[in-house]
A and B are shown apart, each in its own frame.
Chain A
């Protein structure tokens, strides 16, 4: 029964994209359609999450072909949870974008294009989460990437085109890796259905396994912005309109993390690359946060913390125990929410304060106390201050790391703790300079060494004047902040769901059984 709901997760946004495109001239109807679609997907995902818990993994054989021949859509707890969180976050950002669009008319976001593209992005995202075979996952990736290219270059200003070109080329290279990997997987195993690959891959020689494994990891690693291939992210995300950056930051990298989780647990279980991933996680953590500290522009700073915190999730995946995977899944949920919220807040700072560089901002606490609160809570959350969800996720990861007890895991824990503190340092510095410092202090030209050594945004093009900020933008951001705090309040049930999802992925036999039904 619940299986019938799975295709809706992909179909509804696709239908929404078509409708919003037809309704191009009527913004109100577009908004209505997008909102209804995303709400519906969120509700369906919630039902799926509850049902999958009772009935086991939901599998849909598209077109009635038996797997491994046909395409399968699979929703287990992890997929349903990811779809639920993404839908909620997409909805929040949509409302924020609508608020901004109403205030700006045609300035930054040509609204008639925004809604269809946004719906396509959602389609690709949800499709990647419920895809039961590698090629369908590839199609989901491509759909969401194509939409992201359009969203990133919205309006086509010079800065966005420059940033867009970097992003698109890097994404294309990752796609070529992914497609080549799919071709090789098909050549080696004769199937692209993930569950069937999992059954057959163990029979391959070790070196062939390693090659396939690495090809997939490179493809997903670029998407997830894991260290050696994370250079593109801080250069491309910050130039996009605020809501677009928020969605990208929250969700696009997490699709890569999700794919890595599936690769490491279902297709290539065991600890062949455990040490390798552990080293990558450590480097991602440290190098990402080192970049963040040097930035004056808040958007760039947050982009670097985004890269850095991907390291936590890779660390959890590298440990690979049930406890670690529980913490990883919880951390993914936390990070999607908090990172999106922070980027929305920066969107507000940009409108209200007229700049995003902490060397040009001051006195925001006095001028906009509400904004200050909205920034402060998610900032502490990201930095990992108890009792927020960032703390809970990190503690879970560190505990799992200690239980593993290898020297590398201790190094990674140390790097994780340092990253947590440095994140806090970077964000508190934003707080001190942009919110706490008085305007007089900034204008008097007092320069501390902290400020003068900062790296400004190379694309900075003069401050925009203060524009009106509709209540709806503030209200949406506030709702997202409440949601991120709620992750602490519901931490018990959420961790339980994460634990069950983790059990599903750690022992993929139920997943394989549900998809293949005994066939090989």
Chain B
């Protein structure tokens, strides 16, 4: 099997750069690293083609099989590229969401922004608040209103002490639905 030295070097550099960037803590850099490493792997697949040759399946079998380029790695690369693209898109959406949460969190932490006055250290609560804000500005306002109404009802029903009332209580309410 023979391979192009340029491609081998390119692959090595991309692997190295990708792994190096992935070692950072920031998600954005990890995504960049992932894209590099993913494409380095695609080049690795391409390298496995071996000797270059004529395109496969183009002149109704006039080309002998030994003259053709191996088409299989190309098919594999194509699939891998599609998968990588999908995952990258999802990761970008995830980064956007994380950034959004962080921003809302920072906003909510200021006392004059609404009724959320906290000691500022209680991170999980703030994240939940950010999430609540997101849901309220989100599409399904009706469902959320319903949910809130129910939440209030549940809150009045279920004091911590009333929990021991047992399954009968719960079954009744389960059936109501």
List residues of A whose CB falls within 8 A of some B CB: 102-103, 105-107, 135, 139, 142, 146, 149-150, 153, 155-159, 161-162, 164-165, 168-169, 172, 176, 179-180, 182-184, 186-187, 192, 352-354, 363, 366-370, 439, 459-462, 465-472
Contact = CB atoms under 8 A, between A and B. Distances in A.
B97 interface: yes
Contacts of B90: 146, 149-150, 168
Contacts of A106: 140, 143-144, 147
Interface string B96-133: 01100100010000000000000000011101101100
Tell which of B73, B158, B167 has the most Cβ of chain A within 10 Å. Answer: B167
Interface residues of B, number: 57
A182 to B, nearest CB: 7
A150 B89 CA distance: 12
Contacts of B154: 465-468
A337 to B, nearest CB: 25
Contacts, number: 139
Contacts of B101: 156, 158, 161
Interface of B: 1, 22, 27, 30, 34, 37-38, 41, 44-45, 47-48, 50, 72-73, 76, 79-80, 83, 86-87, 90-91, 94, 97-98, 101, 105, 123-125, 127-128, 130-131, 134, 140, 143-144, 146-147, 150, 154-155, 158, 160, 163-167, 170-171, 173-175, 177
Given A146-B83, A354-B163, 15 more contacts: A103-B174, A106-B143, A135-B79, A150-B90, A158-B123, A158-B128, A179-B41, A184-B48, A186-B48, A352-B170, A353-B163, A354-B160, A363-B164, A469-B174, A472-B174
B125 A461 contact: yes
Contacts of A164: 94
Contacts of B143: 105-106
Contact of A165 (B27, B48, B83, B123): B27
Contacts of A139: 79, 83
Nearest to A177: B41
Contacts of B173: 468
Given A103-B177, A183-B41, A158 B124 contact: yes
A159 B127 contact: yes
A511 B79 CA distance: 27
A114 B16 CA distance: 38
Contacts of B87: 142, 146, 149, 168, 172
A459 B100 CA distance: 19
B127 A158 contact: yes
Contacts of B177: 102-103, 468, 470
B94 A168 contact: yes
Contacts of A354: 160, 163
